[in-house]
Structure 1
């Protein structure tokens, strides 16, 4: 564990993670410098959160001079490894870290880390609900909610800590949680990781530093996640909707089960799960396997499975207006997540999709759009590409229900058009398939704007 008192630490990226880390490092007695490529006027709320603290700022760029005398370089999640200052730090032998690394090095509680291309936020929150129902003092954070680094000294040895961990965080980490879960791995963030092999390797790092007493939970139904079984150093458990696994959680004849020893315990029936969509059965199964590995009893796991209704911006029902339901799935920043969202509904769908392009293939998702959405309204930088892909899919697939597709500039225009085109009994679904960065700070800001627009409908 690094000694931080008197250490000269540079943080790249003054966002949610960078702000929390800066506050904590100051308390540890470190000399803290924060650098962000954005100017001060774009960072107001973060600078305000650090007001009065002895923090040095270098804004507008990441000059190499930051490395002079630097003992530790900490990267916020959005900072890639291939920028000059990070590569130069590696060349000079300056260690890299982030808030999750420093937290796990010091956390005394039982830790679980959850990663995956999709479902990790819902699963993380659900594991937290299961542990709370079991009576444990529970902390939920990481890439969801508040970074927990500021609370690490308060966490006791019997507390349960559940972290959502992204590939961006994991790719530099050299410590693993006590329970590590990889839900699934599908093409994503290839603009950052460049190749699928590099993306998988980043996800695998959640397992790489476990020992024989630790637990790995893998999604059996996903080939990429299942293939990581060869890298597991501790006890291996799977979750599956398709087959009965020897250790872990599974679906059998319409009932969800958990088996960690010789006995399989019934969790609940499929129809009793409150979360919407077949894909959420995987999330419940994964959460059960993780929570069970953290010591949650089957009664607590069952209680949470029956009552947990989801987290904001993930198939979140916002409002019903004139018989039309409006659903916020702003978290969907990949084509695959759009497919999952479309398949969660039986009702006709008016789909709002767009945002910034991540360079991912749209052909398969466009076919699902053609078969599941009655109306497609595309917006943002990605709008033209989605419309072209959907138009081509409509011409080549069977069972087409897509009647109308159009391109608008903004989400505000998309909601207004959807309100005019949707019919009673239909769902207006915001499931963008692209990032929010063409118009918003993050997917949460985009989702909140969608909520405001829907609430304003008469």
Structure 2
């Protein structure tokens, strides 16, 4: 169990505190049940007055001290000391303003796992590559015979730890490892650092949610800010934001990985191999030509390898996992063919820079691309709202003009993409408009030649599960 700022700032351990939990969903209820046996008292808050009653009827707290209140009643709760927020709780939410005015300590489910895990923890963050790095590192450590769980064992969407991982933590021992994917939404409220922190990269994302790029970066820096002496930070040397703003953030020792072979000590790609370079010389792990993963995942492989080497993992165990890994769902994954048209699912690319990384893995003039979606997500966050994100959208559109023979756009996000393409104004391929995501995919499949590649690269917001289910049904029908 690690030292937490929650304990430092409260002046007491959580056992003596009355804590609030914002929201009634699967993760929040699991957190309430978990904390009900640790905190003095737990109050679950919800927006709807009738929701707490419904949950209370189904509640089995096993003797825990839990009550349910409407979110609007928070001002009436005088003795609370901490507020545990959900992934959807914006930093600019009124409940956060109230918490700060009352000097409540802010925390969340991910912070609880970091704080209460008896074994050692690895936290993985970045604007892209978090899930893949988490999955790869978990697989490598498990293949090496280590006692490890990862947040990707339980879910890929939504990202990061939830109910299942929290419940698993209670049974862990002090020799175990837990690997957590941590988004900026998690990190905005953490008070505890992991034993090992990995930062894959940083580029503009979630500007509307955080309020600015600087605030987004600051949330990501929390991964390292609360680390202690004896901890480790693993950083992407080639990413200018990471190199410029994450070095020296915490007290941890720092090591680096470099896809461009820019360091003399660390994990690099050199002479066609993933290689550990040190004073002892070169230690080749595997050839790039042996890898089956999409090329934009190679930096994630270096990050996972850097940690594995630090932990003394057998090189064969590491190599086996790296060369067998083909990628995760919704990350440039080949799903199958429809009437001879290959379907590639990159629906995780709901950000211009993420979508660009997937797009760049394909040859020029080789694709029919489906893009678009909502400019505002269900939670109210506006997508591609800042000047930095709009600059990234222009980069995506410039690449789109190189890579695509045809483009199918949908929803208001599709309109934004078309306006950007028109502004660039050169080499415009044919553009088709569709009413929604499903219609766009069907239009693209009909317009494509039998030997074409169809890439689903939304850029804007779409419900991830809905996209995935439709694509799997589509490919399944063709089999």
Structures share fold, TM-score greater than 0.5? yes
**Correspondence for 1:447 among 456, 464, 468:** 468
Q: Decide whether the 8 Å contact of 2:121 with 2:194 is kept in 1.
A: yes
CA contact (8 A) 1:265 1:298 kept: no
Q: Which runs of 5+ in 2 are unaligned?
A: 8-12, 153-158, 376-382
**CA contact 1:376–1:405 (8 Å) conserved in 2:** yes
> Per-residue deviation at 1:7?
4.2
Deviation (angstroms), 1:274: 1.5
Work out the CA distance in 2 between the residues paired with 1:84 and 1:64: 11
* In 1, Cα distance between equivalents of 2:97 and 2:236: 34
1:262 matched to 2:280? The reply is: yes
Which deviations, in whole Å up to 9, do the C-alpha atoms of 1:64-89 show, x marking residues without a partner? Answer: 34644323210111101221221111
Distance 1:313 1:14 in 2: 28
Task: Note the C-alpha offset of 1:27.
Answer: 4.1
Give structure 1 stretches of 5+ with no counterpart.
Answer: none
Relative distance call for 1:171 and 1:267 in structure 2 (3 A) is: same
Residue aligning to 1:126: 136
Contact 1:353 1:377 in 2 (8 A): yes
Give the structure 2 partner of residue 316 of structure 1.
Answer: 333
Say whether the 8 Å CA contact 1:237–1:248 is kept in structure 2.
Answer: yes
C-alpha separation between the residues in 2 aligned to 1:21 and 1:38?
19
Compared CA separation, residues 132 and 185, structure 1 to 2 (3 A) = same
Q: Aligned in 2, Cα 1:209/1:6: closer, same or farther, shift over 3 Å? A: closer
**Mapped contact 2:226–2:250 kept (Cα < 8 A):** no
Cα RMSD for the two superposed structures? 2.7
SS of 1:435's equivalent in the other structure is: coil
Displacement of 1:448 in angstroms is 2.8
Once residues 269 and 49 of structure 2 are traced to their aligned partners in structure 1, the CA distance between those partners, rounded to angstroms, is 51
Aligned to 1:331: 348
TM-score with structure 2 setting the length: 0.85
Kept after mapping to 2: 8 A contact 1:215/1:235: yes
Mapped partners of 1:30, 1:379: distance in 2 = 51
1:233-269 CA-partner distances (Å, limit 9, x unpaired): 3221111111242332100111111246634321111
1:105 matched to 2:122: no
Q: Structure 1's 412 and 272: CA in aligned 2 closer, same or farther, altered over 3 A?
A: same
Asked if the contact 1:342–1:373 (Cα under 8 Å) also holds between the matched residues in 2, the reply is no
Deviation at 1:450, TM superposition (A): 3.0
Deviation at 1:50, TM superposition (A): 5.9
The two structures have a TM-score, normalised by structure 1, of 0.89
Verify the 8 A CA contact 2:109 2:162 in the aligned structure 1.
no
Structure 1 residues 181 and 50 mapped into 2: Cα distance closer, same or farther (>3 Å)? farther
Provide the rounded CA distance (Å) in 2 between the counterparts of 1:39 and 1:373.
Answer: 50
Kindly provide the CA deviation profile for residues 276-316 of structure 1, in whole angstroms up to 9, marking residues without a partner as x: 1x211111111111222344222211111011222222222
For 1:62 and 1:285, how far apart are their aligned partners in 2? 47
* Aligned pair partner of 1:378 in 375, 396, 409: 409
Name the residue aligned to 1:243. Answer: 261
Which residue of the other structure, out of 296, 302, 310, is the alignment partner of 1:293? 310
